[in-house]
């Protein structure tokens, strides 16, 4: 039986630039809710990350998919933060 819940570890740790290291589904969830402005939380990449994190915590999807989506959302977050020329 798969291990369920927010304490499940991500498939690899994610070091957020100038931020925490995300090690569990809950770390990623808390980062999204506590560190991201609402307008960023509403972006499609973070919405997908939230869906996959919830599904992984409930045992409905694999943790690898959630981990990859959080990494993608963080990458895109960094691109949005770049100054426009």
Q: What's the number of domains the chain is made of?
A: 1
pLDDT digits (tens, 9 = 90+) for 14-44: 999 989 999 999 999 999 999 999 999 999 9
User: For 50-72, what is the mean pLDDT?
Assistant: 95
Contact 52, 69 (CB under 8 A): yes
4 part of a folded domain: no
Asked if pLDDT for residue 80 goes beyond 90, the answer is: no
40 part of a folded domain: yes
3 part of a folded domain: no
How large is the greatest C-alpha to C-alpha distance in the chain, in angstroms?
A: 52
Token pair of 85 as six digits: 């020329």
Domain that holds residue 62: 13-81
17 part of a folded domain: yes
pTM value is 0.89
8 part of a folded domain: no
36 part of a folded domain: yes
What share of the chain has pLDDT > 70, as a percent?
92
CA of residue 5 relative to chain centroid, distance: 15
């Amino acid at each position: 039986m798969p291990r369920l819940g927010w304490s499940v570890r991500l498939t690899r740790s994610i070091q957020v630039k100038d931020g925490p290291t995300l090690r569990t589904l809950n770390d990623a969830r808390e980062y999204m809710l506590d560190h991201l402005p609402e307008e960023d939380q509403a972006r499609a990449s973070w919405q997908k990350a939230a869906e996959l994190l919830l599904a992984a915590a409930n045992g409905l999807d694999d943790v690898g998919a959630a981990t990859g989506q959080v990494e993608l959302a963080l990458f895109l977050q960094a691109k949005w933060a770049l100054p426009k020329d």
